[in-house]
A and B are shown apart, each in its own frame.
Chain A
Amino acid sequence: MNDPNADVCMTLPARAELQDHLLSAIHDLDRLHGLLADACAALTAGFLGATHELQGLRAARPAPGEELGRAALHLAAAAHALQFQDLSAQLIAHTSQRLRHCAGRLAQAAFADDDGEAVVETAPPRPNPVTQQQFDTGTVELF
C-alpha cells in the first residue's frame, strides 16, 4: 500500500495544474448530482401523479380492465427504476470525496515546500459502498 504521507514527486506547476483538473472534476460532479436530483424530483412527481390518476380510474370502475392492470405494472417497474438517483448520488459523493482527498494531498505537498499546511480530507473507505454494476434487483437476506 502507498504511504499516504509520501510526497508527490512533481514540479509545483504540474501539481497546480493537476489540482485544478481535480477541482474542475469535483465541480462537474456536483453539477451532475444537482441535475440528477432535479430530474429525479420531476420524474417522481410525474410518477406519483400518474399513480394517483390510475388509482382514481380503478376506484371509479366496478371491474377494472386489463389496460389498467398493465398500466399498474408499468408504474411498478418505474418505482424500481426511479431508485437510480439514490445509488447515483452515493456513487458521486464517494467519488467526489476521493477526488477532494487527492486534491488535498497535492496541495499539502505544494505547501510543504513553503513550510505551510493544507487540510487533507480523509479518503473514503474501500470498497465503494455502491457495488452494483447493473440495475438489477438487490438481494434479500433474512436473519
Chain B
Amino acid sequence: MHSILAVDDSASMRQMVSFTLRTAGYDVTEAVDGEDALDKVRAHDFDLVLTDQNMPRLDGIGLTRALRDTPKFKATPILILTTESSDQMKQAGRAAGATGWLVKPFDPARLIEVIGIVMRRPAPPALRPGTEDRR
C-alpha cells in the first residue's frame, strides 16, 4: 500500500484529504504544518507528500525545499494543495522542487487521478537520488 503524508494546518482540510486518500486505498499520515511534517519524515518513508502552502512555522514551499535537501526525498512527488493561485507562487513552488500545484477546493476524484499520474511517471533526472552531481 502506498503511503502519503498529508500536511495542512486546517483540521477540516486534513480530514477531507485523509478521507479522500484512504477511500482510494492509500495509507495516510497527517501533519499539522511543515515542521511537523519534517518530524514525521525522519521516522517514516512516504511515496508522496501532499502539502498546503500557507501554514505557521514552515510553509509548503519551505517544506518542499527542506525535503529536496533530504536524499531520500529527492525523487518523491510533492504536490502543493493551496488556495494560492498566483503565477508567482506557482513558480516559487516549482523552483523549490514541487511536482505540481493544485488550487483548492479539490475535487476528490480529480485529486486521486492526479496522485495516480505523478506516482506512475518517472522522476526528472535532476531529482533522482544520486544524480544531482552528474549534470
Contact = CB atoms under 8 A, between A and B. Distances in A.
Given A40-B12, A138-B85, A139-B85, A83 B105 contact: yes
A90 B10 CA distance: 10
Nearest to A137: B107
Interface stretch (A19-27, A63-71, A128-136): A128-136
Interface residues of B, number: 36
A79 B84 CA distance: 20
B76 interface: no
Interface residues on A, range: 20 to 34
Given A127-B86, A141-B101, A143-B101, A80 B107 contact: yes
A86 B15 contact: no
A76 interface: yes
A85 to B, nearest CB: 5
A140 B90 CA distance: 11
Given A86-B10, A138-B106, A132 B98 contact: no
B102 interface: yes
B84 A129 contact: yes
Given A76-B109, A129-B83, A82 B94 contact: no
A34 B86 CA distance: 28
A129 B86 CA distance: 8
B126 to A, nearest CB: 12
B102 A85 contact: no
Given A80-B108, A143-B100, A44 B83 contact: no
A85 B84 CA distance: 15
Interface string A104-143: 0000000000000000000000010111100111111111
> Closest 3 CB pairs between A and B?
A138-B103, A83-B105, A142-B100
14 contacts: A48-B19, A76-B109, A83-B13, A83-B106, A90-B54, A129-B84, A131-B83, A132-B105, A139-B103, A140-B102, A140-B103, A141-B100, A142-B99, A143-B93
